[in-house]
């Protein structure tokens, strides 16, 4: 079901079509608070059930056309993050009547390791608007943001890298996980961008020291390891090269995958040590400390899981207690506490 909500403009001739991200319940709209005090007109849309805006092109067109008729904007912008990025990019490339801001779009819906797999199933049939649509002539700018600490985002970035020099393609690699929009919001980049949509984005990002690049070999290793872990392929031979070992200490997303591989190989101490190293760095490095808490939380969470799987129950209990003292309790932590036979009632719930 495609839900929508209109918000009238104040002193702007811009209409922003804001696509909700996944897991936004019916009656709510993603990024609504971000645009609550904006000067722009807004059309908020949400594909309830997290169905990635598949099969709703006609409905979207009706809603967009009605908003255009109601507000007569001089400028149209398609905007979204994650699932919303896919919707914004797909719709903007299909209609070709406005600028696009997409944060972490997927290009292979339903592939192993993707956010979309749980709700749309393995590789659904979808119209091929992207990335082929980005290779054609574009009348309006397209801004694509990818968190290069996430291997799915890194794969999208790598796919589009050959198009980087094309007119109206603006590609940004970031020191962020998949939730790059949340990260950019935290460090006050998003509000600068959305205020008038006239900000010099490369300058804004560089001023925050969040721009990031990986060489071809590094990004290939990252994607290769991510695909192997997500598809549960054989991991024999992985993590043997000097380059991969170097990525352990320079790239937190690679370290998360590496810890999983080491754990599967029975190298528990090495895996735990690697995660602890990054937990410390995530709390002391200014850029990393501003990444979304739910992503930083993954490092101690994975450490507890690894200790539990290795039968180190007392160590795992201590680790989970330390984690509960630092982070709000979530379902993942409660599940681990039940497996470990301990209570987290004394700590704050998420």
Q: Which CATH number fits domain 2-207: 3.40.50.1820, 3.30.300.90, 3.40.720.10, 2.60.40.10?
A: 3.40.50.1820
Give the angle 137-138-142 at the CA atoms, nearest 5°: 140
User: Per-residue confidence at 50, pLDDT binned at 50, 70, 90?
Assistant: very high
CA distance 90 to 196: 23
SS3 assignment, position 283: helix
Residue 150: phi and psi, rounded to 5, are -120, 130
**Mean per-residue pLDDT, 300-309:** 97
Q: What is the mean pLDDT of the chain?
A: 93
Q: How many CA atoms lie within 13 A of 305 on its CB side?
A: 17
pLDDT given at position 239 = 73
Q: Judging by DSSP bridges, how do beta strands 142-147 and 99-103 pair with one another?
A: parallel
* 90 closest CA partner among 41, 33, 47: 47
pLDDT given at position 270 = 93
**Mean per-residue pLDDT, 79-90:** 97
CA distance 241 to 178: 26
What residue segments make up the domains of the chain, in order of their start?
2-207, 216-340
pTM: 0.95
Element (H, E) at 218: helix 216-230
Retrieve residue 349's tokens: 């719930």
User: Per-residue confidence at 156, pLDDT binned at 50, 70, 90?
Assistant: very high
Retrieve residue 289's tokens: 């400390």
* Domain at 216-340: CATH code: 1.25.40
CB atoms under 10 Å from CB of 314, counted, come to 9
CB of 67 closer than 8 Å to CB of 5 = no
Torsion of CA 67, 69, 70, 75, to 10 degrees: 70
CA distance 226 to 155: 10
CB of 47 closer than 8 Å to CB of 87 = yes
Q: What is the pLDDT of residues 220-254, one digit of tens each?
A: 999 999 999 998 766 766 777 777 888 998 999 99
CA distance 89 to 95: 10
């Amino acid at each position: 079901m495609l839900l929508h909500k209109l918000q009238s403009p104040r002193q702007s001739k811009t209409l922003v079509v804001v696509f909700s991200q996944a897991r936004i319940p019916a009656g709510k709209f993603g990024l609504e608070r971000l645009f609550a005090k904006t000067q722009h007109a807004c059309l908020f849309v949400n594909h309830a059930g997290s169905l990635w805006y598949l099969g709703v092109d006609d409905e979207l067109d009706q809603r967009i056309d009605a908003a255009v008729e109601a507000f007569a904007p001089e400028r149209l912008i398609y905007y979204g993050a994650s699932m919303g990025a896919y919707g914004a990019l797909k719709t903007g490339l299909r209609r070709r009547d406005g600028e696009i801001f997409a944060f972490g779009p997927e290009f292979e819906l339903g592939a192993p390791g993707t956010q979309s797999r749980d709700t749309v199933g393995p590789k659904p049939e979808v119209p091929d608007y992207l990335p082929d649509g980005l290779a054609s002539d574009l009348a309006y700018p397209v801004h694509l943001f990818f968190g290069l600490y996430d291997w799915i985002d890194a794969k999208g970035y790598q796919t589009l890298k050959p198009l980087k020099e094309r007119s109206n393609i603006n590609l940004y690699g970031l020191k962020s996980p998949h939730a790059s929009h949340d990260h950019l919001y935290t460090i006050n980049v998003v509000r600068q961008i959305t205020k008038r949509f006239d900000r010099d984005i490369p300058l804004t990002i560089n001023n925050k020291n969040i721009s990031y690049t990986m060489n071809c070999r590094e990004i290939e290793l990252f994607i290769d390891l991510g695909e192997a872990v997500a598809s549960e392929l054989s991991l024999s031979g992985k993590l043997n090269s000097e380059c991969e070992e170097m990525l352990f200490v320079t790239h937190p997303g690679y370290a998360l995958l590496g810890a999983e591989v080491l754990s599967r190989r029975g190298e528990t101490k090495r895996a735990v040590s690697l995660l602890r190293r990054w937990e410390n760095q995530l709390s002391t490095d200014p850029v990393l400390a501003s990444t979304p808490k739910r992503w930083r939380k993954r490092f101690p969470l994975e450490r507890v899981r690894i200790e539990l799987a290795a039968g180190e129950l007392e160590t795992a209990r201590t680790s989970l207690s330390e984690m509960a003292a630092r982070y709000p309790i979530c379902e993942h932590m409660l599940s681990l506490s039940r497996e470990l036979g301990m209570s987290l009632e004394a700590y704050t719930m998420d």
